[in-house]
């Protein structure tokens, strides 16, 4: 194939000139059709040339696959798309082609090299083979631009070099450049370095547990793991369990009063003492500590309280130990399990209502998996006898924590471990 008929070069020249490129169903066609139905790519600059879309090009992928003109032109059409969108478009086109042809998806680096070449920013690339005779032409151009050569001979060499070759003046500049090594030659040299002798030198300096020193040194010298190395490893910290509160305005327990109730054992309304407070002053996350003797009797367990899972990562759901609910189904819309029946198979449910009032029908329909608790109705502390009924708040709090602890133990919470799935 002559250099003037090279598909890559024709495509590059058409792009540089802004000339129209047609996808036709025949060599003589002039009607632009979809790429899935086209057989030829028609270039109108510098002359009309029809090239079959199955023509192999000089572009070779990293896996040594020669890309045809269809794959090259498709990649150029989707140059502004990200990799996932580009791959999805390629899969859709292959479905439309129905086996009559195939479009290959190029990797990110391959697309970058291709676009840089087609836009004229470079003359050659890692995945682009040179035109036949281009190396000889470039050598002639470089020789013509050598010191002492006249501008006339350099121009003649440039004229002989043709399209797609390096400018002779640039070739002269590049000839004086100092060649830099790649990362392998700079970091590793010409051959791999053996550092096995460092093990023997380091063995006497590693702190060993009494009674196992000789064995540790032998294992280190042999290349195996030793107990001394295990002593220096920091144990993994158990994540904090999570409690989800209901974001409903009708919920008796909100972020404003949850800490005082679950830690202090005293209930007060969410808006009590918060006149003039706004949503921006209400915390989006709270920490509550509770000593759970059945899990860790030595230190209190810290719990994280949030009203919604908007900031959750997928693994956070394995740390959820309780969900406070008012029975409204919209609360579970963004949950991992959006159906209450499925949710409360995995997580303990808690409903908090007023003493003397029946829980809503939706809460009763959840069954035994939701703990229904009730506190005495709130009365202003200024009223006579208002404080006499608040001693039963702690009784309700203890019942809630007992249910949470039993559920956590059943799910696999331990002193130094948390469940990987619930």
The string of DSSP codes covering 385-406 is TTTTTTTHHHHHHHHHHHHHHH
SS3 content of the chain, % helix, strand, coil (to 5): 40, 15, 50
Q: What is residue 145's predicted lDDT score, i.e. its pLDDT?
A: 45
Note the pLDDT of residue 367.
Answer: 84
Residues 283 and 400 in one domain: yes
Q: Which of 89, 118, 147 is the endpoint of a domain?
A: 118
Judgement on whether residues 268 and 387 belong to the same structural domain of the protein: yes
Note down the domain range covering 372: 242-411
Give how far Cα 144 sits from Cα of 161, 163, 172, 178, 234, Å.
11, 17, 9, 21, 67
Supply the DSSP symbol for 308: -
Residues 157 and 81 in one domain: no
Per-residue model confidence (pLDDT) at position 33: 92
Q: What does the DSSP assignment read for 112-175?
A: HHHHHHHTTS-S-BTTBPPPTTHHHHHHHHHHHTSTT--HHHHHHHHHHH-TTS--HHHHHHHH
Dist CA 381 CA 264 (whole Å)? 17
> What pLDDT score does 169 carry?
75
Residue 257 lies in a domain: yes
* Contact assessment for residue 90 and residue 74, using Cβ atoms and an 8 Å cutoff: yes
Residue 187, classified by CB atoms within 10 Å of its CB into exposed (0-12), middle (13-18) or buried (19+), is exposed
Ordered per-residue pLDDT tens for the chain, 422 residues: 566 688 999 999 999 999 999 999 998 888 899 999 999 999 988 889 999 999 999 999 988 899 999 999 999 999 998 888 999 999 999 999 988 889 999 998 889 889 888 988 887 778 898 887 655 554 554 444 444 444 444 444 444 444 455 677 777 787 777 766 666 566 655 566 677 788 888 887 776 555 554 454 455 445 455 444 444 555 568 899 999 999 999 899 999 899 999 998 889 888 876 544 444 467 788 999 999 999 999 899 999 999 989 888 889 999 999 999 999 989 999 999 999 999 999 999 999 999 999 999 999 988 888 999 999 888 877 666 556 667 889 999 999 999 999 999 999 999 888 888 88
Greatest Cα pair distance, the chain, in angstroms, is 111
State the Cα–Cα distance between residues 378 and 356, nearest whole angstrom. Answer: 13
Grouping H, G, I as helix, E, B as strand and the rest as coil, residue 42 is strand
- Identify the pLDDT of residue 277: 44
Q: How many distinct structural domains can be found in the chain?
A: 3
pLDDT given for residue 58 in this prediction: 92
Whether 140 and 112 map to the same domain: the answer is no
Examine the domain organization and report whether 257 and 152 are in the same domain: no
* 71/147 same-domain check: no
258 in the same domain as 110: no
Picking from 92, 151, 91, 164, the residue whose alpha carbon sits closest to that of residue 123 is 164
Task: Specify the pLDDT at position 3.
Answer: 66
Question: What's the predicted TM-score (pTM) here?
Answer: 0.45
The answer to whether residues 92 and 144 belong to one domain is no
Question: How many Cα atoms within 13 Å fall on the side-chain side of residue 308?
Answer: 10
Q: Are residues 390 and 247 in the same domain?
A: yes
Measured CA to CA, the distance from residue 184 to residue 76 in angstroms comes to 32
pLDDT given at position 235: 57
Q: Both 270 and 142 in a single domain? A: no
3-state class (DSSP) for residue 23: strand
SS3 of 292, please? coil
The tens digit of pLDDT for each residue in 228-267 reads 444 455 556 889 999 999 999 989 999 989 999 999 888 9
Q: For residue 415, give the nearest of 241, 291, 297, 289 by alpha carbon.
A: 297
- Asked, as a colleague might, if the bond just before 46 is cis with ω within 30 of 0, I would say yes
Same-domain status, 114 and 139: no
């Amino acid at each position: 194939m002559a250099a003037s008929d090279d598909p890559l070069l024709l495509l590059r020249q058409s792009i540089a000139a802004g000339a129209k490129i047609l996808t036709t169903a025949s060599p003589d066609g002039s009607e632009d059709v979809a790429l899935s139905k086209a057989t030829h790519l028609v270039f109108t600059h510098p002359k009309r040339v029809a090239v079959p879309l199955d023509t192999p090009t000089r572009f070779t992928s990293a896996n040594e696959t020669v890309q045809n003109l269809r794959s090259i032109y498709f990649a150029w059409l989707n140059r502004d798309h990200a990799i996932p969108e580009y791959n999805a478009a390629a899969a859709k086109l292959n479905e439309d082609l129905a086996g009559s042809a195939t479009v290959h998806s190029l990797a990110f680096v391959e697309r970058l090299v291709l676009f840089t070449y087609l836009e004229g920013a470079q003359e050659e690339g890692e995945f682009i083979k040179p035109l036949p005779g281009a190396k000889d032409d470039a050598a002639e151009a470089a020789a013509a631009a050598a010191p002492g050569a006249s501008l006339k001979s350099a121009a003649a060499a440039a004229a002989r070099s043709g399209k797609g070759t390096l400018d002779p003046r640039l070739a002269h500049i590049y000839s004086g450049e100092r060649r830099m090594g790649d990362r392998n030659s700079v970091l590793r040299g010409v051959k791999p370095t053996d550092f096995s002798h460092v093990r023997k030198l380091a063995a006497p300096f590693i702190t060993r547990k009494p009674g196992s020193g000789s064995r540790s040194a032998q294992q280190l010298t042999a290349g195996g793991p030793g107990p001394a190395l295990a002593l220096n490893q920091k144990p993994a910290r158990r994540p904090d369990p999570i409690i989800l509160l209901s974001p409903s305005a009708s919920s008796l327990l909100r972020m404003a009063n949850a800490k005082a109730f679950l830690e202090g054992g005293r209930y007060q309304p969410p808006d009590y003492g918060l006149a003039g407070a706004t949503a921006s002053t209400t915390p989006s996350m709270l920490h509550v500590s509770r000593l759970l003797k059945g899990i860790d009797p030595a230190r209190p367990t810290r719990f994280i309280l949030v009203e919604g899972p908007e900031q959750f990562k997928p693994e956070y759901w394995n740390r959820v130990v309780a969900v406070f609910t008012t029975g409204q189904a919209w609360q579970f819309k963004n949950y991992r399990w959006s159906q209450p029946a499925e949710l409360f198979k995995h997580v303990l449910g808690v409903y908090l209502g007023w003493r003397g009032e029946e829980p809503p029908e939706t809460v009763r329909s959840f069954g035994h998996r939701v703990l229904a608790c009730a506190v005495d109705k709130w009365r202003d502390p200024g009223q006579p006898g208002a404080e006499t009924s608040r001693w039963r708040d702690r009784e309700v709090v203890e019942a809630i924590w007992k249910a949470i602890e039993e559920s956590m133990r059943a799910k696999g919470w331990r002193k130094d471990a948390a469940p990987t799935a619930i």
